[in-house]
Amino acid sequence: MALAGTQYGPVRGTDADVLSFKGIPYAAPPVGPNRFQPPRPPEPWTSPRDSRGYGATAPQTRIEGVMGQLIPRTIIPGDDYLNLNVWTPGLTGRAPVMVFIHGGSFTSGSGALSVYDGTRFARDGVVLVTINYRLGADGFLWFGDGTPNLGLLDQIAALTWVRDNIDGFGGDPGNVTIFGESAGAMSVCTLLAMPAAEGLFHRAIAQSGAGHNTISPESARLVGTRLAAALGTAPTREAIADVPVPQLLAAQDMLSQQVSAKPRAKRWGDVARTLLPFSPVVDGDLLPGAPLDRIRAGAAADVDLLIGTNSEEARLFLVPTGVAARMNTPLLYAAAALRFGLPVSGVRRYRANRPGATAGDVLAAVMTDSYYRIPAIRLAEAHRGTYMYEFGWRSPACDGTLGACHALELAFVFNNLDDPSTAPMLGPAPPQHLADLVHRTWLNFATTGTPDWPPYTPEQPTTRHFNTPSTTTTNTNPGPTPH
C-alpha cells in the first residue's frame, strides 16, 4: 500500500506496477444544502482515507443493448461523487500532469471507466488524473437565477485541487495538460474561454469536441421549463431538487430523445443545433461569451492546443441504432443534411464524392463534418499554433460497419487495447503499434507542447492522420463545409 498527503487529509492507495489513488474527494457531496450550489471544500479527515477503489459516480441511467456494449457505463451509487483518481510513477519528482475529462453528452460517464485506467500513462512518466463532475440537471440546469454551469465549476474545482495537491503525488503543478473526449472535449474548449480556469492548466487536447456546443440563457430556460413540465413541478431548481433522482433521470433522458427526434429551434432554441439539452450556458459572467469568440479574441492564447476528430464519428450513432439502414432514399438524407446546415448543392457534392455510398453513409459524412470536423477546424483557425489530428483506423466490429467512429480512439490514447470492455468496439486484434504511436504522441505533447508535425494554419492546414500507416498531410481543399 502507498500513503500520500492532501490538504484535506492522508489517502491510502495501491502500490502495484504504479501507484494509484482512487475516489479522492475534491469537493463536498453536492446534496442537501450543497445541491445546485458551487462546489464547496470537502470536510477534512485525519486518519488515512482508503483510496484503493473507485468512489461514487454522478447519477445517471444505464444504457442497454448494442449501444450499452459499445459505450459501457460504470455506475457506483453514493453522494460523495465529486472525486478524482490519480495514477503516478512515484510520490517524488515533478512529472508532467494530465487531467482527463470524460464525455457522455453531459448526462453520463465517469472517471471510473476501465478504459480510462491511467496505469500506462504513469508507467511512461506522467501523473494521470481522471475526474467526476455533476451531470444533467444537477450540473447544467439554469433558469437565470443562482449560479450557472455547476458542472464546469466542478471541473475547475478539480483542477484547483490538482494545482494545490499534485506535488504530493510526484506531479508538477506548473505543467498540467487537460484533455477530454466528446462532451469532455467540449468542456476543455469551454474552459479555455473561462476566466475562472485561467492559469490552472498549460496545455489542452480536445478529442471529438470543440467550442460550438454552448447555449444561450434563453435556451437554458426553455430546457428547464420543459423539464419542469415533464416532472409536474414548478420551473425552479428548488422544486426540481424535491424530485426523486430516478424520476429526474428518466425525464432528462426523455428530453434528450425529444430533441434528437425533432430538433426544432422554435421549441428548443440553441439546443436544436447542439442536440444537448444540458450543456454549458453562455451566462455572460462565468462564461462571458461563446468559446470560439473568446478564443478568437485571445483567451488562452498561451495554452498549447491539440485538437482532432475521428474520420467517421457519426457512424457510432447511425449504424448500431439502425438509423443508417433506414435512411434509404436521397430525400431522407437530404432533409437530414439540411438540418445540419448544408445547402442543397453541398448535399449533391457529398453524394457525388462518394460513388456507391448508401444514403446512410452520406448522412454519416455530413454529420461527422458538421458536428465534429468543421468546429475543430474553426477552433484551430481561432487559436494560433494549434495542432490538428484525425484518427482514421476503421474498426472491424459490427461486420466492419462502425468504421472510424466516435470514441474509437480512447483505448489507443490510454494504450488500453487489452481492456475487455473495449472488445465490442475494437473487434479482434486492434493494432498495438498504432496505440503505441497515439499514446506516445499524447505523452510528448503533455511534456513539450509540440508534436512531430507543424501547426495548423489556414494557409498550411496540416493534419496528422493516425491510421495504418499514419501520415501527415496539408489539405488545401477540404471540400464542402456545413455552416
Q: What is the pLDDT of residues 425-458, one digit of tens each?
A: 999 999 999 999 999 999 999 999 999 999 999 9
What are the pLDDT digits (tens) for 359-399? 788 888 988 999 999 999 999 999 999 999 999 999 999 99
CATH class of 1-214+279-323+367-483: alpha beta
Return the number of other C-beta atoms located less than 10 Å from residue 59's C-beta: 22
pLDDT at 351: 80
Residue type, position 127, single letter: V
Does residue 470 carry a catalytic annotation?
Answer: no
CA 328 to each of CA 129, 263, 312, 332, 475: distance values in angstroms, whole numbers, following the listed order: 44, 21, 19, 7, 32
In the residue annotation, 465 being an active-site residue is answered as no
Residues 6+ apart with CB under 8 A from 24: 6, 11, 49, 51, 55, 83, 84, 85, 86
Count of helix runs (H) and strand runs (E) in the chain: 20, 13
CA terminus-to-terminus distance, the chain = 54
pLDDT value at position 337? Answer: 63
CA–CA dist 385, 388 (Å, integer): 10
Catalytic residue among 406, 409, 439, 465: 406
Q: How many residues does the chain have?
A: 483
Rounded to whole angstroms, how far apart are CA atoms 148 and 473? 41
Residues 104 and 135 sit within 8 Å (Cβ to Cβ): yes
User: Are 204 and 179 within 8 A, CB to CB?
Assistant: yes
Question: Peptide bond preceding 420: is omega within 30 degrees of 0, i.e. cis?
Answer: no
What is the residue whose three cell numbers read 500532469?
97
Beta-carbon contacts of residue 86 (< 8 Å; ≥ 6 apart):
13, 20, 21, 22, 24, 118, 127, 128, 129, 166, 169
- CATH 3.40.50.1820 occupies which residues in the chain? 1-214+279-323+367-483
Place of cell 488545401: 476
**Separation CA 39–CA 387 (nearest Å):** 33
Between CA 349 and CA 328 the distance in angstroms is 18
Q: With the CA atoms of 272, 276, 279 and 280 taken in that order, what torsion angle do they form, in degrees rounded to the nearest 10?
A: -40
The conformational region for residue 399 under phi > 0 = left, psi -120 to 50 = alpha, else beta, is left
The pLDDT assigned to 17 comes to 87
Residues with Cβ within 8 Å of residue 427, at least 6 apart in sequence: 395, 396, 397
DSSP bridge partners of 87: 20, 128
Annotated active-site residue 219? The verdict is: no
Catalytic residue among 20, 105, 110, 182: 182
328 strand-pairing partners? none
Q: H or E element: which one contains 50?
A: strand 49-50
Q: What is the pLDDT of residue 480?
A: 39
Between CA 97 and CA 161 the distance in angstroms is 13
Amino acid identity of 303?
Answer: V
Pull the grid cell for residue 64: 442497454
Cα separation, 243 vs 350, in Å, equals 47
State the catalytic residue, choosing from 181, 313, 390, 409.
313
The half-sphere exposure of 95 on its side-chain side, counting CA atoms within 13 A, is 25
Which residues of the chain have a pLDDT value below 70?
327-345, 476-483
CB atoms within 10 A of CB 52: 16
What per-residue confidence (pLDDT) applies to 55? 98
- The grid coordinates of residue 405 equal 467512429
Residue 286: closest CA among 411, 151, 436: 151
Nine-digit cell string for 19: 501507484
- Say what the pTM is: 0.95
Whether 3 contacts 12, CB under 8 Å: yes
